[in-house]
Each structure stands twice: as C-alpha cells, then as structure tokens.
Structure 1
C-alpha cells in the first residue's frame, strides 16, 4: 500500500448543486492502515473510486458534528455491512456521535432486522465501536493520532488531528486560524488545511437563499482565510500544503489562480488546491 492522502470531498459546507464538489472526507493510507477522516455526503462512493473496499477500513475519525462531516457515516457502515463487513470498526468522534448512530439504527430497524433474519447477517449495531475523541493521543494500530481542539464556534468539540507513523500528516479540521496549529503541524510531510477566500463570501451568502447575516458571521469567525493558511504552513515548516474544505469552491468568479495567489502570499512550498479524488503521495 502506498503511503498517501486522498481528498475525496473538498467542498466546504453541506449543500451540493449540479456540477459542485462533494462535502468533506479524507482518506489516509499509511503503514498498512486505511483511515477515514470525516464522512460527508458521497464518502461511500468516494472510497470505492479511490480503490478501497468498504470492508477494508481500519478506523473512522469524525472531527466535529457539522453535517458535512458525518452525514453519511451511518449509510457508509450499513453499505459496508451489506458488502460483507463482519468485524468491528473503531469509530472515534465527539461526544454525541453515539446518539447519531443509535438514531440511524432506529431509522433503519426494519431493514436491519430483516437482513439479519433473512440473510444471516451479523448484528450491525456491534460493528461500530464508537469511542469519544478527546485532546491527547490515541492509537490507531501502529499509528499515533495526536489531537488538539481547534476553533470552530459555536461548536466547542471540534478537533485537528496529526497522524504519525513512518510519515506524518496533519489535518486541521474546520477551524479559524489558531497559533498552536503551526507547532502542532511542525515538520509534517503534509498539512491538509481548510481554506476560505474572503472575497467570495458575499456571493456565497447570496446564493444560499434561505439564511440571513448569521451565515456570514459564522464563516468569518469559524474558517481560515487562505493567506493565513499559507502563513501557518510556512511557520510550521511542513513539506507540502493541501487546501481542502474550500469556501467557496463552486463560484466561477474564483479560480485556482485566486487560491494560489492568496495562499502564496506567505507560503513558498508545494501547494495542492484540493479537488475531489486528488491523491497526494507521502513517499
């Protein structure tokens, strides 16, 4: 298995429209481990398109409980179950994820009970080993996962991750710029950081159509302008920088050139502007 990161969903926010990218999900393959970080809409198809059998996941990590990061977790596990999953999968996420899982099982109880009775399937409920994601260190097989709390108000249980084995990958999660991110990501082979083009916020808010000015307030206090992402990456001395959870990503007035221009005000290293399905080798 090649050590790599695949950006399966790179759109910021939950809405999709014709021609847009899919919400957030990231696949980390390192030292024989297959780790899924976040499970936004489209993640099941994204895994298959990346050549990963749904039964081969070693762990799933959910960074916070905004729908674009865990909406498809239940359908993913259910589909893996129908595809032959018979071993428990560690699922690590914020407090409250267990409630989602129980709600999903309840909503699908007729189908689940029927397939257990009619097809001899194992108990689906037992296949998700849900534990609480907390600041500190977690073990994912041979990998170490370090966790810090990021800044994504009004959510407090929102986290950045660093996965370390023979390589090191830092994933910012959804966050405003925070000073500690540079130290957290120090020397990583790859930093995957969310990014926003501040100039695109007016058009995005107008396009949503069913919110008010609170959406703008949320975006501006909870996400990271691209130039500040570049500054963090430069201070951290990471080898490569990838932008994901792009806000906006579907406005034709803002192209890859705008992302590069903003980010490279501060960043001078290799830059990947995330697109769905992009695989970045770590070796």
Structure 2
C-alpha cells in the first residue's frame, strides 16, 4: 500500500453525538510500517474502514492519557488479537500507560484465558511490548525514527508531540497543547504538521451543549490551540502542509470547513487540510 496519513477520528474531546465524528486517532502508513497515533473511541472500526488488516498492526503511539486518546487502546489490541494477530506489537505510552494496560488485561482475563485454551491463540499478554517514553528519542531502527517533545496541556503533565521520520519524510503530530512556540522548532521544515485547532466562536456553543459551564471553557482556552495560533506555529516552522486535527468544535452543524478556512485567511498560505474522519493524505 502507498505511503499515506489517514485521519481516523478528528474531534476534540470524548463525547460523541449523532452523525458526528469520532475522537482522536490517526494511522501513518510509511516505509512498510503501520503506526497508529492515539486510540480514541472508534479507532478499531476506523482502521478496518481504512482497509488495514488489524493483524498487520505494527506500532502504537499514545500522546497522553486523556480518554479521547486512549479509551480504545486495550480494545484495539484485543480485537487485533481475535483477528489473527500473532506477532509482537510495540507500544509507546507516557507514564501511567502500564496501569491502563494491566487493568485492561485484568478486566478481560476470563475471555483471554478462555480463548487461549478454547481457540488455540497465543497469549495476548506476550504480544505487547509496552515501553514508557519521555522527551527525546523514542524509537529508531533501520528506516524509522520517532522523537517526542513535551508540550503544554494543563493539567496533564505527560503530553507529547511526535515527530516521525521515514522514507525521506517528516510528519509531526502536535498532540493536545496550548499555543507552544517550541513546537515550531521541533517541526522545522517538516512535510506535514498535524496540529490541533479550536475555533474561538465555537467554544461558547460547545460549552452550552456540553453543560459544564465556565469551568470547561477555562480548560479549553488554557489547554488548546486557537486555529490562528496553529497557523503561527506552521508558518514559523516553515512546514509544507498544515493538517488541522482534534477539531473543537467538530460536530456543531453551525460550523463547517468554510469556517476553518475563513479563520486562516491571511494567516496561512501553504497547503491546508481540514480534518475529517477517514481523510486520506498521500505522502
């Protein structure tokens, strides 16, 4: 399969609404590797819809432990296992990912043990090579280099952007972050910057729909990036292609692609993609 970036789920936050997009996850097919970045609700079905065989899953990267990025991590691995996965998968997660994985395995122990005995499957617990990462070099092998940068996403401390380099390409994922100028240096000259984005005029409507009032608005403004600030990072970094992801709001019928484009008028003049579930971007 040709190298590609697939946006599997593109909304910010854990809630899902009728007809709306799913929380955050992405697939990077590059240099023969299949790397999943974040595992929000819906990632498993989205991978199947993207024509990826789950038993071919190669690597998972988790940016941080907010539920809209990790909720379906365990179910994805379990479903890949029941779909024929029989080789090691490398998983990189921040501190705390071990507790999530051990808790998931405990919750599914009856089913896992039963399927090993009744269906002759390998032990799922032996197929996951779980590694905790921090700032700096995360992974390097013959054709793939992954680097992490701690970003600013209060109150979460361990939240990291990723730079993935392979096949002469460089793709950067911002993760969840407020406007964070060091990210521009991290992403310098990259082919693609996948950056979270928030429409300021959509925040008040989102708060009303969700019902958490002023406290939610305070979190959004302190922890996420306005769309024009995402453009500032992309411009400063001189990236070739800006991809808006983890959209806030993403499922409000009053806001669509035209609003995102309008918000960037005069602020970004490079190649632009507005995230939507299932969007395929050839590399």
TM-score (norm. length: structure 1) = 0.97
Q: Is the 8 A contact 2:57 2:80 kept in 1?
A: no
| Deviations 1:41-87, CA, capped at 9 Å, x for gaps | 01001111111111111110000000000100111100111111111
Q: Does 1:73 align with 2:64?
A: no
CA distance in 2, matches of 1:212, 1:12: 17
Deviation at 1:140, TM superposition (A): 5.0
CA distance in 1, matches of 2:266, 2:97: 38
Q: Secondary structure at the match of 2:149?
A: strand
CA distance in 2, matches of 1:43, 1:172: 19
Superposed, 1:7-86 pairs within 5 Å as 7-86=7-86
What's 1:148 paired with? 149
Deviation at 1:264, TM superposition (A): 3.3
Superposed, 1:183-198 pairs within 5 Å as 183-198=185-200
CA distance in 2, matches of 1:116, 1:105: 14
- Flag structure 1 segments of 5+ consecutive residues without an equivalent: none
Q: Mark the CA change 1:44 to 1:275 in structure 2 (over 3 Å): closer, same or farther.
A: same
Q: Does 1:173 align with 2:175?
A: yes
CA distance in 1, matches of 2:266, 2:152: 23
What's 2:163 paired with? 162
CA distance in 1, matches of 2:265, 2:192: 16
Q: Secondary structure at the match of 1:224?
A: coil
Q: Secondary structure at the match of 2:64?
A: coil
Larger deviation, residues 32-41 vs 259-268 = 259-268
CA distance in 1, matches of 2:203, 2:140: 37
CA distance in 2, matches of 1:277, 1:219: 25
Deviation at 1:263, TM superposition (A): 2.3
TM-score (norm. length: structure 2) = 0.97
What's 2:118 paired with? 118
Corresponding pairs, count: 281
Q: Secondary structure at the match of 2:232?
A: helix
2:209 paired residue among 207, 210, 232? 207
Q: Is the 8 A contact 1:228 1:266 kept in 2?
A: no
- Flag structure 2 segments of 5+ consecutive residues without an equivalent: none
Q: Secondary structure at the match of 1:207?
A: helix
What's 1:265 paired with? 266
